[in-house]
Amino acid sequence: MSEQLPEQQKPLLVIRAPLSEDGFVSIYFSSRDGRLMNEEEWWNLRQLIELTNKVCVKQQARGQAA
């Protein structure tokens, strides 16, 4: 699902990571004034990724145990 951004709001690719042999995930950051991410936003993104990774690892472990 793509979000429609205002014309002056340009997204910046922050992370692109492989999920499988032929699948990738991309995370974009954008702000109304076109600025880069600040330290707090980077920290929040890192926490989100770490939490998501923990959930995915647990789900994979459950799937392999079944």
Is 28 within the bounds of a domain? yes
Is 5 within the bounds of a domain? no
Domain that holds residue 32: 12-65
Cα–Cα distance, 12 to 36 (Å, whole number)? 8
Is 34 within the bounds of a domain? yes
Cα–Cα distance, 66 to 64 (Å, whole number)? 5
Is 31 within the bounds of a domain? yes
pLDDT at residue 4 tops 80 = no
Number of domains in the chain: 1
At 59, is the pLDDT very low, low, confident or very high (cuts 50, 70, 90)?
low
Q: Which residue has the higher pLDDT, 33 or 8?
A: 33
At 1, is the pLDDT very low, low, confident or very high (cuts 50, 70, 90)?
very low
State pLDDT tens for residues 17-52: 887 788 888 888 888 888 889 999 999 988 988 888
